[in-house]
Amino acid sequence: MDFSSVALPPGTFTIGKKFDFEAGHRLPGLPPEHKCSCQHGHSYEVEIILTAPTLEEPGFVTDFGALDPFKGFLDTALDHRNLHEILPFEPTSECLAQFLAGWFIQNLQQKIPGQLVAVLVRERTSSWARFDVEEER
């Protein structure tokens, strides 16, 4: 079979990579009767989503190995910590997704090909929060 006749459509390439860490938190801004106002923990899952209009050799948006510094940050700064004690905001999944996007942009974005599109944070498999990065104007 000759595959050279398959026309490649124009478009954008998107990749995602998941990371995980364990952490506890409470949300002191909630009423005392709310279950999340008490100390509890999660097995967090964080997904980084990147896009590019063209691919780098040998055909990557970004080499997944280039994202290792992000995993290093999660492991050293957030893993097995009480998030409400170390972060300067209420550690909801929504705020955590925005914070992680900011860290990524500040510390990793300029060093890799591909553009950060979004960060998704899951506290459990049935719920998630996503922060979408606005395009620079």
Which listed residue (34, 38, 40, 80) is catalytic? 80
Please give the Cα distance from 29 to 3 (Å, whole number): 59
**pLDDT band for position 136 (cuts 50, 70, 90):** low
Judge whether 118 and 133 are in contact, CB under 8 Å: yes
Mean of pLDDT values over 105-109: 97
45-103 residue pLDDT tens = 999 999 999 999 999 999 999 999 999 999 999 999 999 999 999 999 999 999 999 99
User: Is 36 labeled as catalytic in the residue annotation?
Assistant: yes
Q: How far is CA 2 from the centre of its chain?
A: 40
CB 14 within 8 Å of CB 117 = yes
Domains of the chain: 12-132 (3.30.479.10)
Q: Is the pLDDT reported for residue 137 higher than 60?
A: no
Single out the catalytic residue among 56, 123, 134, 135: 123
The partner residues of 81 in beta bridges, in order of sequence, read: 23
Annotated catalytic residue, options 34, 36, 94, 134: 36
